């Protein structure tokens, strides 16, 4: 399966098991979603469980919170993460705080799916990575998969989780594992082992990272598309890096991170999102606090620039193999 098919399969499996799971969003119903993630679900489960919504992100998330309070398990879709901002108040002030402010009387067991990330010539409003805005909010879990196998297992776990989850899907790797070499032919998931996805039910526990490449020289913390870019770069450079796919940003798998950095003595953080105030800053701070005496070099951050995401200059902006390579040389020099 590619990642879209894996997400579709996760929704199908979980809707089949739990009649309260309800899918909603712009174009997700009859049409099956602009990325086809919900294709076939309305025909199979009916219009009261899979339905199109008005174009209103406040409404989509606000209504989902109310449905959750009733006892359903809504899975709203925000068509692009760039368009999640109108729903910010409902996510930050309501979904994230409902359990806390009602001391558990009401909860918001919602999973907001949203395609995020760049590398597709999406320009300013189809490329953003806003995860850092949400990792800053107490009460929300933030998840992002990097393979079809993980996407399905993590999405099922997210939907079954009783806390609100933001599920950011890296749309650049919906069809294949993009390695950062935009000038080479695109790969697809059919030749990748993580493209093998069971058709039935399985879960990948939230809060657990995945060591996708064991190594001794440096620890690379990445998620989403950047996992593949990092893997390709260390392979090209012959660096014995340990690459960790975080999978869940909140709650974070701090144990796996600590164990790796204590072993390698070096740590690099890689994300597409802009640098200042990004999630990489939190990761760098945590590593510095917890592994200070094991560090042999400063923690490096390889990120998007602090600019809006450009259109024509996409590959100058995207933190690709060259930027990662230079940072690797720098961190390994000492």
Partner 1 sequence: MPGDRTNLPRLALHVPEPQFRPGDAVDFAGVEIPAAGAARRPDTAEAAGEFRDLAYTLVRVLDENGRATGPWDPKLSPETLRRMLRSMALTRAFDERMFRAQRQGKTSFYMKCTGEEAVAIGAAFALDRDDMCFPSYRQQGLLIARDCPLVDMMNQIYSNTGDKLQGKQLPIMYSEKRFGFFSISGNLTTQYPQAVGWAMASAAQADTRIAATWCGEGSTAEGDFHSALTFATVYRAPVIFNVVNNQWAISSFSGFAGAEATTFAARAVGYGMAGLRVDGNDILAVYAATAWAAERARTNQGPTLIEHFTYRVEGHSTSDDPSQYRSAGEPTAWPLGDPIQRLKDHLIGMGEWDEERHAAMDRELAEQVRAAQKAAEGNGILGHGLHQPLDTLFDGVFEEMPWHLREQRQMMLDEETASGRPWDRK
CB of 289 to partner 1, least distance (A): 11
Examine residue 62 and tell whether it contacts partner 1 (CB under 8 A).
yes
CB of 261 to partner 1, least distance (A): 16
CB of 329 to partner 1, least distance (A): 33
**Contacts (CB under 8 A) with partner 1, residues 70-89:** 70-72, 74, 86, 89
Examine residue 237 and tell whether it contacts partner 1 (CB under 8 A).
no
Residues 6+ away with beta carbon under 8 Å from 272: 117, 118, 119, 129, 224, 225, 226, 303, 304, 318, 319
CA dihedral for 193, 195, 197, 202, sign (positive or negative): positive
Place of tokens 């001391």: 103
Examine residue 221 and tell whether it contacts partner 1 (CB under 8 A).
no
CA dihedral for 4, 209, 18, 64, sign (positive or negative): negative
Exposed / middle / buried, residue 70 (Cβ in 10 Å: 0-12, 13-18, 19+): exposed
The 10 Å CB-count burial string (b at 16+, else e) for 209-240 is bbebbebebbbbbbbbbbbbbbbbbbeeeebe
Which residues are annotated as catalytic? 126
CB of 140 to partner 1, least distance (A): 9
- Binding segment for partner 1 among 64-72, 151-159, 216-224, 322-330 (CB under 8 A)? 64-72
- Binding segment for partner 1 among 91-99, 171-179, 267-275, 322-330 (CB under 8 A)? 91-99
Site string for partner 1, 285-324 (x = CB under 8 A): ----------------------------------------
Compute the distance between CA of residue 94 and CA of residue 34 in angstroms, rounded to an integer: 28
- Taking CB under 8 A as the criterion, the residue among 67, 157, 226, 299 binding partner 1 is 67
- Residue 192 or 203: the one with the smaller Cβ distance to partner 1 is 203
Site string for partner 1, 18-37 (x = CB under 8 A): ----x---------------
Examine residue 162 and tell whether it contacts partner 1 (CB under 8 A).
yes
Compute the distance between CA of residue 164 and CA of residue 230 in angstroms, rounded to an integer: 30
The residues of the shown chain that bind partner 1, judged by CB under 8 A, are: 22, 48-49, 51, 53-54, 56, 58-59, 61-72, 74, 86, 89-90, 93-94, 97-107, 138-139, 141, 161-163, 207, 250-252, 254
């Amino acid at each position: 399966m590619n990642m879209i098919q894996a997400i579709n399969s996760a929704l199908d499996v979980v809707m089949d098991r739990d009649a309260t799971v309800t899918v909603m969003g712009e174009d997700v119903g009859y049409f099956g979603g602009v990325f086809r993630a919900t294709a076939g679900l309305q025909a199979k489960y009916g219009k009261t469980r899979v339905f199109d919504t008005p174009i209103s992100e406040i409404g989509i998330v606000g209504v989902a919170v109310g449905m959750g309070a009733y006892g359903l398990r809504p899975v709203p879709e925000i068509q692009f993460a760039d368009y999640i901002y109108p729903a910010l108040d409902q996510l930050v002030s309501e979904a994230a705080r409902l359990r806390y402010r009602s001391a558990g009387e009401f909860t918001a067991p919602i999973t907001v799916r949203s395609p995020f990330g760049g590398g597709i010539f999406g320009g300013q409003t189809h490329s953003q990575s806003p995860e850092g805005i949400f990792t800053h909010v107490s009460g929300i879990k933030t998840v992002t998969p990097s393979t079809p196998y993980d996407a399905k297992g993590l999405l099922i776990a997210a939907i079954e989780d009783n806390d609100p989850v933001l599920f950011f899907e890296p749309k650049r790797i919906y069809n294949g594992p993009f390695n950062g070499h935009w000038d080479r032919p695109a790969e697809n998931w059919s030749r990748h082992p993580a493209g093998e996805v069971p058709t039935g039910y399985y879960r990948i526990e939230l809060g657990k990272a995945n060591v996708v490449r064991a190594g001794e020289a440096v620890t690379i913390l990445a998620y989403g598309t950047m996992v593949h870019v990092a893997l390709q770069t260390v392979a090209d450079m012959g660096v014995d890096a340990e690459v960790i796919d975080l999978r869940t940003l909140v709650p974070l798998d701090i144990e796996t991170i600590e164990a790796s950095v204590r072993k390698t003595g070096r740590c690099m953080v890689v994300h597409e999102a802009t640098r200042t105030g990004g999630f990489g800053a939190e990761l760098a701070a945590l590593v510095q606090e917890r592994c200070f005496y094991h560090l042999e070099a400063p923690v490096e951050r390889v990120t998007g620039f602090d600019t809006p995401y450009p259109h024509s200059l996409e590959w100058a902006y995207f933190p690709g193999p060259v930027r990662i390579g230079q940072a690797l040389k720098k961190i390994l020099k000492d």
